[in-house]
Structure 1
Amino acid sequence: MNTPTPHIQAKQGDFAKTVLMPGDPLRAKFIAENFLENAVLVNEVRGMLGYTGYYQGNRISVMGSGMGMPSMGIYSYELFHFYEVETIIRIGTAGGMGDDVKLRDVVLGIGACTNSNYAEQYGLSGTIAPICDFELAVKAMETAKRLGIPVKAGNILSSDLFYDGGKGKEQWRDMGVLAVEMEANALYLNAIQAHKKALCICTISDHIFTGEALSSADRQTSFSDMMKLALETAIG
């Protein structure tokens, strides 16, 4: 095993089989301190904080992924291939695009459309449609129903661009895409290639077309429904 890696200082066995991955490392710290018991810091290389602890007696890890598909691509690849992680659940923020998507809504990304060339590395003769793990998605839906958390499920868009002025978003919305974020496509492709499991659960932090938005403090600390759903799904 090639551990530690250039990006993760953890030793073999430091990570649980399931890792929750917010983009923001400070959100990983928040989850470890507020949701996990006996959490231990296992990575802080480049400030990308990672912790392993227990949730209701089940061993769980949480680590930041950074922003964008290149960063998610690196960390999820290393976790899948070098640390024997079996499941990664991305938890993060997304910009709403669908007309029925509101602030603080929880969205399950069943498929991850993209404007990225991340999949070019596989040399495929066509266009792959990256999707989450089906059993994990079903488990998340069942868990959400049990917890009384309303969720929307469908296609999301993983974009390489944050400051694009909303160009082309109307076309994605018209094709039924619910929200836009920046990491799920790379995560799903890495999981598919490694024969592992992945799911993206996002909370709507702003809306592309209405202009509504939550503050940065709200984004970091107020997504308890999403965090609870991810944790319960992970141990379910």
Structure 2
Amino acid sequence: YSLLAENREYHSYIGQWNGQDVAVVSHGVGAPGAAVCFEELIMGGAKYIIRVGTAGSYQKEITPGSIVISTASVSTDGLTKQIVPAGFPAVADRYIIEALARAATDHNGEITIREGITLTLDAFYSGVIDFPHELYKKAGVLAVEMENSALYVIAALKGIKSGAILAIDGYADAELRKEYNPHTNHVAKAVEAESEIALNAITTI
């Protein structure tokens, strides 16, 4: 692989995986900055985007070190509210999800892998207003992160295919969270596995 360009948090690399050309690009934290990345990748000709990231789990059985394939996202971020009407769905492309699920079978038995709905929010740290995490936990949302809604909505508007895979680095649910330590061996193993899954998936679409 080789460095294509770098500016602020956006570092772009190009290389080959399974004999196919792929680009790997960092987008930073949060929907607005990530949206700039997604929009400009599409302007540059990207037809498939898989976001590889981390998330906090809402569900007890989805422990740190697990992997979640995000089929859709609850949009509580501010970015998507400014580009589409309220109620516009943020949904991954089914072909991307199927490709991720197929690629993930190589890791069955060694890492917990789940598919389902995730949630996108803006605030990493809490303030004086409590976010209703408990409601989304009860509704079956698997995990929370900060960029998926932006990707799914922009991909829908621009007519490309997108999906996301997330390594769980802790619990977002206060009742389950004892401490937040995203630097464990379990999390590092999940990040490595999700990266391999994403690369294998995007080169088989």
Structure-1-length-normalised TM-score: 0.77
Percent identity between matched residues is 25
Instruction: Tell me whether 1:140 sits opposite 2:100 in the alignment.
Output: yes
Structure 2 CA distance for aligned equivalents of residues 220 and 96 of structure 1: 12
The answer to whether the Cα contact below 8 Å between 2:76 and 2:120 also exists between their aligned partners in 1 is yes
Distance 2:84 2:95 in 1: 28
Amino acid at match of 2:11: L
Match of residue 224, structure 1, among 184, 192, 197: 192
CA distance in 2, matches of 1:118, 1:89: 19
- Please state how far the C-alpha of 1:208 moved relative to its aligned partner: 2.0
Asked if the contact 1:104/1:203 (under 8 Å) is kept, the reply is yes
Q: Distance in 1 between matches of 2:81 and 2:75?
A: 12
Tell me the residue number matched to 1:59.
21
* Alpha-carbon displacement from aligned partner over 1:59-96 (angstroms, at most 9, x marks no partner): 1110101110001111101111x200011111011001
CA drift of 1:185 comes to 0.3
Q: Aligned equivalents of 1:234 and 1:189: distance in 2?
A: 19
Equivalent residues in 2 for 1:28-67, closer than 5 Å: 39-67=1-29
Shift in Å at residue 216 of structure 1?
A: 4.1
Which residue in 2 is equivalent to 1:189?
Answer: 153
**Residues 204 and 147 of structure 1: CA distance in aligned 2, closer, same or farther (over 3 Å):** closer
- Give CA deviations for 1:131-160 in whole Å, capped at 9, x if unaligned: 000111011112212443542011101011
2:139 equivalent to 1:175: yes
Unaligned runs of 5+ in 2: none
Where does residue 72 of structure 2 map in the other structure?
111
Distance of 1:132 and 1:116 partners within structure 2: 17
Counterpart mapping for 1:151-162 below 5 A: 151-162=113-124
CA-CA distance at 1:219 after TM superposition = 9.1
What CA RMSD, in Å, does the superposition of the two structures yield over aligned residues?
2.0
Gaps of 5+ in 1: 1-38
Greater mean alpha carbon deviation, residues 137-146 or residues 168-177: 137-146
Question: TM-score scaled by structure 2?
Answer: 0.88
Confirm or deny: 8 A CA contact 1:110 1:132 kept in the other structure.
yes
8 Å Cα contact 1:144/1:150 also seen in 2: no
Tell me how far apart the structure 1 counterparts of residues 73 and 41 of structure 2 sit (CA, whole Å): 20
**How many residue pairs get matched?**
196
Instruction: Trace 1:95-106 onto structure 2 (pairs within 5 A).
Output: 95-106=56-67
Aligned to 2:181: 214
The alignment status of 1:68 with 2:36, answered yes or no, reads no
Equivalent of 2:81 in 120, 124, 137: 120
